[in-house]
Chain A
Amino acid sequence: MSSWQELTIRLKLEIVELLDYESRCNLRLCSSSDRDTVDSTKIIGKNLKISETTSEMAEGKTIIRLDIDTFTIWFIGRENVTRIDKGWNGEIIEGFSETRQQNRYAVIGEFMERFTRKGFVWVNTIGVDSTNFPVPETWNIKCANLRLYNLQEHYLGWLRKFVTLFQKLKKLEIGCWGNEPEISELLGQLKVTKTMKVDHDLNFTDEQLDQVEAMDVKILSFNVTAEAVKKRLQKFLKYGKKGDELDLHTPSHELVITHDQLIPNELIVKRIKMQNEEETEYNGHIIGGFENVHEVQDRRAIHYVNFGQLIRIHCKVYEKPERSDCMMYPF
């Protein structure tokens, strides 16, 4: 059993499922038996990214870009005319382009169906960026990581779709604005295990904040108390891994005047005065008073800043700044 050829079909399928899209296509060309192996496994792309940009050449014309790992398809058009270009590593392959008398949103749906197996498109990470169209009903996607950016009025629709498709995620990153109460409800239903970074107000209560399993977080909520922030910081110090960051935004409660009320007493914190630090800021290094289950022994840098209505508390493993030989501004 010392070559690909000698592996059982089941083991070959295990490997093929872990290949990126380009490698799958290339393996498929090696022989008829490899083609059959590839065709009988579901495509699990590492990254599926859908983005849309408006063309400056003609009104109503947009370019939808669909990336599956290193393979890209561009759908360019307006109304019922769509030009389709394909390419590897962002470069168009000449001779593979075509024009169809069909709306680009319908065409992209057809292409997505090609990547479907057992009714689902399987990808590790899906990113939807600046799209101007609502999520098609027929799109069923299974993924572990979800990124939504700048979706404007369709944000709630995309989110609703994804929450109905899966309740558990490893990473969730959202860079959209939305103040509908349903958004917080939907996000509260998701179980996120590793990273949860959301740019808008989540309206999480103390209990909801405590239930967030992910340790690498960026959460903004006007409903949490100083006690909940303290508890979260303790939890972060205990369970956070080396690359994790805690970034909490909470309202400036009347009683909270200084950073002391957000930093637990048992922690040993060394004040580090930074250059150009303002009165409303506090910088320090947590050098003791906590245990970490992952045995991350490094000191943690903590930064507190009061913006008036809002307080930000940020904590991560301290990284020594790299010294540069160059003389940078100001001289």
Chain B
Amino acid sequence: MSVENAPVVDVDEAAIPVEKKMYYRFESNDKKEFRVSELAIQQSETLNRLVEAMGYTSEDVENKPAIAIENIDGKTLKLVFQWCEHHKGEAIPVDDGSVPKIVEIPEFDAKLMDIDNGLLFKLIWAADYLNIVQLLNVSCKKVANMAQGKTPAQLRRVYLLPSDEEDEAAKRAAQEAQDPRAREVEEEFEERKRQGGNSFF
């Protein structure tokens, strides 16, 4: 059938449902704004529940202020949303404990996590806070891989692990910072003990 002979049908364009992708706006604690697709948000259980509860329309998304994520900075949040966009629509793994968890880091994730250790630990924390199961798995795996073939001394450097002595000193410092009088009392107690006093009070 030629184009000229084809039957002409009037189409009401307004009546055709247009599937519009919705992009939510999020703001980090350092006031950086991100637009994230609805499908990508589904990777985060926390954010998914949040937007469901808010019940925003596409107008609301544009007109209302961006949803604030107060615990995460812009640099980390950017990585999180990049990961979510790349893995949008993928099934979320469920760990039922029947088989050991095997985590493989895909090429994209490996490149995304080619960052300094400080940011990597922030990413783990953010993935846990936003409940993004697979991102938490791969970021933990990356940290675990960093330990391979390292001696305890090297591990201390890589993970910035304090020794028991440093740990104790940090605890004491924290206690003192909380109560500056504590040290004075302790010193007084030690002094009295040295003088042979039986009772402090």
Asked if B119 is at the interface (CB within 8 A of a chain A CB), the reply is yes
Instruction: Give, as a whole number of angstroms, the nearest-CB distance from B159 to chain A.
Output: 4
If A7-B124, A7-B125 touch, does A124 touch B100 (CB 8 Å cutoff)?
Answer: yes
Contact with B along A1-29 (1 / 0, CB 8 A): 11111111011001111111011001101
Question: Chain A binding site: helix, strand, loop or mixed by DSSP?
Answer: mixed
Interface extent on A, as a size class? 35 or more
Contact between A144 and B122, CB atoms less than 8 A apart: no
Contact between A27 and B152, CB atoms less than 8 A apart: yes
Of A1, A2, A23, the contact of B144 (CB 8 Å cutoff): A23
Instruction: Give, as a whole number of angstroms, the nearest-CB distance from B79 to chain A.
Output: 14
Cα–Cα distance between A168 and B140 once the two chains are bound (Å): 25
Of B102, B147, B160, B161, the contact of A23 (CB 8 Å cutoff): B147
Contact between A3 and B152, CB atoms less than 8 A apart: no
Contact between B162 and A31, CB atoms less than 8 A apart: yes
Contact with A along B55-72 (1 / 0, CB 8 A): 000000000000000000
Asked if A201 is at the interface (CB within 8 A of a chain B CB), the reply is no
Contact between B161 and A34, CB atoms less than 8 A apart: yes
Cα–Cα distance between A4 and B121 once the two chains are bound (Å): 7
Cα–Cα distance between A17 and B140 once the two chains are bound (Å): 9
Which B residues touch A18, using CB under 8 A? 101, 103, 140-141, 144
If A20-B148, A31-B167 touch, does A1 touch B143 (CB 8 Å cutoff)?
Answer: no
Contact between B98 and A142, CB atoms less than 8 A apart: yes
Of A2, A23, A31, A122, the contact of B121 (CB 8 Å cutoff): A2
Contact between A5 and B124, CB atoms less than 8 A apart: no
If A3-B121, A4-B161, A7-B121 touch, does A166 touch B155 (CB 8 Å cutoff)?
Answer: no
Asked if A324 is at the interface (CB within 8 A of a chain B CB), the reply is no
Asked if B17 is at the interface (CB within 8 A of a chain A CB), the reply is no
Interface extent on B, as a size class? 20 to 34
Contact between B103 and A31, CB atoms less than 8 A apart: no
Count A-B pairs with CB separation below 8 Å: 104
Instruction: Give, as a whole number of angstroms, the nearest-CB distance from B98 to chain A.
Output: 7
Which B residues touch A2, using CB under 8 A? 117-119, 121-122
Contact between A144 and B160, CB atoms less than 8 A apart: no
Contact between A22 and B161, CB atoms less than 8 A apart: no
Of A20, A30, A122, the contact of B156 (CB 8 Å cutoff): A30
Instruction: Give, as a whole number of angstroms, the nearest-CB distance from A16 to chain B.
Output: 8
Which A residues touch B152, using CB under 8 A? 26-27, 29-30
Contacts of B91-108 to chain A: CB distance below 8 A: 98-103
Which A residues touch B136, using CB under 8 A? 14
Cα–Cα distance between A23 and B162 once the two chains are bound (Å): 17
Cα–Cα distance between A31 and B168 once the two chains are bound (Å): 11
Which A residues touch B102, using CB under 8 A? 124, 144, 170
Which B residues touch A169, using CB under 8 A? 99
Contacts of A11-55 to chain B: CB distance below 8 A: 11, 14-20, 22-23, 26-27, 29-34, 44
Asked if A263 is at the interface (CB within 8 A of a chain B CB), the reply is no
Which A residues touch B183, using CB under 8 A? none
Cα–Cα distance between A14 and B142 once the two chains are bound (Å): 12
Cα–Cα distance between A276 and B124 once the two chains are bound (Å): 57
Instruction: Give, as a whole number of angstroms, the nearest-CB distance from A78 to chain B.
Output: 34
If A11-B140, A15-B144, A122-B100 touch, does A22 touch B121 (CB 8 Å cutoff)?
Answer: no
Contact between B140 and A15, CB atoms less than 8 A apart: yes
19 examples of A-B residue contacts, CB within 8 angstroms: A3-B117, A3-B160, A4-B121, A10-B128, A16-B144, A18-B144, A20-B144, A23-B150, A23-B155, A26-B151, A31-B167, A44-B101, A142-B98, A142-B100, A143-B99, A143-B100, A144-B99, A144-B102, A170-B99
Residues of A within 8 A of B (CB): 1-8, 10-11, 14-20, 22-23, 26-27, 29-34, 44, 122-124, 142-144, 166, 168-170
